[in-house]
Amino acid sequence: MAYITNWQYYTNNGNAPIDANHGSYQYVSLADIVNNFMLMNVGDDKIVNNIKRYEVLFHAKRGIQELNYDALRNFKKIEIQLGDSLKLIMPPDYVDYVRMSVNVEGILYPMSENKQPLSASAYLQDNNYNILFDSNGEIITGQSMLEIKNNERQQYFGGGAYNGCWGWCWGGDWYFEYNVAGRYGLDPTIANVNPTFSINKQAGVIDFSSGARNHTIVLEYISDGMENGDDTKVSINKMAEDYLYAYIRWAILDNKYGVQEYVIRRAKDEKAKKLRNAKIRLSNIHPSRLIMSLRGQGKIIK
């Protein structure tokens, strides 16, 4: 493990940026993880022998991903302004969202997830409801009704049964919702004034309702820790270092021919114990914080 002086830590040897090493002391790089494992866990007198470095690197990266899913919760934040498309492309290292907020006059308001889809692929059809294809044999798609409803509603004054009703105008055509008992059966999960969003993992985008148009969205999400494939930036907290060694050892033995079953089972049990210890260490639970939370129970509710 490489150590740096206080001068290097605080000032980066006077080079820009001077904060490059801030917070780095509590982390171990991927290169150090692989070097340490090869040095201390591989050899003729060790359980793991005759193993290639690239195999250790592969299992180390996989172990870091598993740890980010289960324990580390490596949070990242991005801020982006939505346009007319009402879509936010997922970051490449996106695993799951933590919180979605909309910035309104400098205040972040939480947004709720709408389980109903906000977009769909609309297949064009002829008068006999047959799907239309282009010259390459691909289905021709058009504007989806769901995407039309994501636009701002307008009030219709064209007479008839829908005169004065609110609807959507698209391409000169008007679309209305079913008005009878329209307010009954409201879904409480999305019953707030803030815009909503829907996750479309297959398309790799997050769709938003029309209320988020031209607003700044703040996405807090869990990263896989792979730093977009740049191994030099991948690191892990020292409190989880012991687990990662146990994970690599188990993964190698589990994929190696001729290893006794009890050896693999023992390595798997050790991995599970190390993961439990890592979760406890990284849980960030302190008695003083629990006491402050419990003090709220003494508040009298009138």
**Residue 153, C-beta contacts closer than 8 angstroms, at least 6 positions apart:** 166, 167, 168, 210
- CA-closest candidate to residue 32, choices 243, 193, 241, 240: 241
Which residues of the chain have a pLDDT value below 50? 1, 180-181
Please name every residue paired with 88 in a beta bridge, in sequence order, or none if there are none: 206
CB 256 within 8 A of CB 248: no
What is the four-CA torsion angle of 198, 200, 206, 212, rounded to 10 degrees? -40
User: What pLDDT sits at residue 282?
Assistant: 80
Cβ neighbourhood burial of 12 (10 Å; 0-12, 13-18, 19+): middle
CA gap 212, 219 in Å, rounded: 13
